[in-house]
Chain A
């Protein structure tokens, strides 16, 4: 190869990766990073989107949000909904994974059950919402079973009374989300070296000791990273709540996403909605940084 040709080749090697990446970077830049800048700009404008020449509003919209008791209620509901969901996703996912991993059940049964336990994961949030509305109808099957067993005395309006609505949507979300943990933990369990358990058997360890001193520490990296991701994603849940309760009754299931959506598309206060969206973005970014740091530290 001549020198000229070689340097030409080198140049090509240097430019090539950027060419391959350019369509992706263009899309992510124009349709993700730019909109993020835009929404921040909106939050400082009066009548954002609606007017062509919006005036500068300063921190007015943030002030309005922080003065709104519904915002604080939404924040609290989001926290409750998210924490309960993550805790129970993890617990149920762990219990199911351990049960399926036990050598006391036969392999065929294990394979069938694994498929069936994953089922809730295969359904869209909208469909999950509709299923739970049917199940939890005042005249529905859950009430009728609970009344027959004698747990409740009269029909409960799970989604339409302020005392139960938040618990009901949280329960539906718990049901819908545990398979992510289950699948990941099952994969993790299969990755734990068998000699760990054999060594423990020789030392005469009990089953629960093996669980606490081998299984759980070995699964910890998976538990932490899935919990963080689950937390970030659950915090953003919209359709499940929108379709089951719409944030009601009387704001009792209002979460940050429904609060923001209503500000934007029911009250058409897009500036204030942008401020609220920026607050959600900041919370997510904080958690994401934490997640990336954790992943890099591993």
Chain B
């Protein structure tokens, strides 16, 4: 239907591409700048006029980060906590989702509403009672404190995500197990779990990202340098080394790698996790 190649039409196409280029600059320049600064020396970062490509390409910032056991510990802590929470969340959420998806029971509707509404509870509101609890149970500055805390924040979303996925699976499958005399428990592990991998991956991605990014609770519930996670490590770096910008950028790049990798490898799951709840 559309008339093409009139001068006006061509002008619109050109304008659109110019706007796309401007959008690209807006979206990507800050990230490009982080990346290129991580390969510069500290003096070159503030060179006038700014150098777009590193003039003297150097890996000194990365060497400084990767050669420092204190900083490697931040990475270990982040991976460990996020990994542990992901495993626990997926297991617990899978059970709850199975209950929601395959059974009708009293209170189902209100429980569902409860779970949706807990997603929006402000973290700062829970921070103070958590601090009180963590101190009184003597788990301040431990992995347990972080893992339990993160579990509360990842679980509601994970349940919704998994329930949504299980609802797409035909019920005939578990009914076949019931006909053979199997219990719902057998049906879950023999039939549902093996075909739920996409849902499990999406939930894991979401959970891992949330834990990897968490700042407020890691800041408040840990104290010793050996318990700190990457986000806190970056903040500490900013305080300690009076603006070693290249190291801060290198650490930011390293700290973003898991997210970038997950995004590139599993884009579909990543988006499913990030937009879960909001589109539905």
Q: Give A contacts to B, CB under 8 Å.
A: 12-14, 16-21, 23-25, 27-28, 31-32, 34-36, 38-39, 42, 48-49, 95-96, 99, 102, 104-105, 109, 113, 115-127, 130-135, 137, 139-141, 144-145, 148, 175, 180, 183-184, 187, 198, 201, 222, 225-226, 229, 232-233, 235-236, 238-239, 242-243, 256-257, 260-261, 264-265, 270, 273-274, 277-278, 280-281, 284-285, 287-289, 291-292, 295
Contacts and interface: CB of A to CB of B under 8 A. Distances in A.
Interface of B: 1, 12-13, 16-17, 19-20, 23-24, 26-28, 30-31, 33-34, 37, 45-46, 48-50, 92-93, 95-96, 98-100, 102-105, 108, 111, 113-118, 120-133, 135, 148-149, 151-152, 155-156, 159, 183-184, 212-213, 215-216, 220, 231, 234-235, 238, 245, 248-249, 252, 255-256, 259-260, 263, 267, 271, 274-275, 277-279
A236 B155 contact: no
Given A117-B24, A120-B30, A243 B126 contact: no
B142 to A, nearest CB: 15
24 contacts: A16-B103, A21-B95, A27-B92, A28-B155, A34-B129, A39-B125, A104-B13, A123-B256, A124-B212, A124-B215, A126-B235, A127-B252, A134-B34, A139-B48, A180-B278, A229-B278, A236-B123, A236-B124, A257-B124, A261-B127, A274-B128, A280-B124, A280-B125, A289-B117
Given A17-B103, A32-B152, A238-B215, A277 B127 contact: yes
Given A28-B118, A201-B1, A135 B46 contact: no
A292 B280 CA distance: 12
B125 A42 contact: no
B278 A226 contact: yes
Contacts, number: 259
A122 B184 CA distance: 39
A99 B27 CA distance: 14
A39 B128 contact: yes
A120 B248 CA distance: 18
A288 to B, nearest CB: 4
A105 B125 contact: no
Among B34, B98, B126, B278: residue with most chain A CB under 10 A: B278
A154 B179 CA distance: 79
Contact of A131 (B31, B108, B114): B31
A130 B30 contact: no
A113 B120 contact: no
**Interface of A, helix, strand, loop or mixed by DSSP:** helix
Nearest to B184: A16
A49 B131 contact: yes
A131 B34 contact: yes
A13 B117 CA distance: 28
A54 to B, nearest CB: 11
A254 B238 CA distance: 20
A122 B256 contact: yes
A245 to B, nearest CB: 13
Contacts of A260: 124
Nearest to A260: B124
Given A28-B155, A42-B129, A122-B259, A284 B24 contact: no
Contacts of A236: 122-124
A289 B113 CA distance: 10
Given A124-B231, A281-B125, A17 B30 contact: no
Given A119-B27, A183-B274, 17 more contacts: A28-B155, A32-B152, A42-B129, A49-B131, A96-B23, A104-B12, A124-B255, A126-B234, A131-B34, A140-B46, A141-B50, A144-B48, A148-B49, A175-B27, A257-B122, A261-B127, A281-B122
A198 B1 CA distance: 9
Contact of B99 (A16, A38, A292): A16
Contacts of B130: 31, 35
Given A17-B99, A184-B279, A27 B152 contact: yes
Contact of A21 (B17, B96, B104): B96
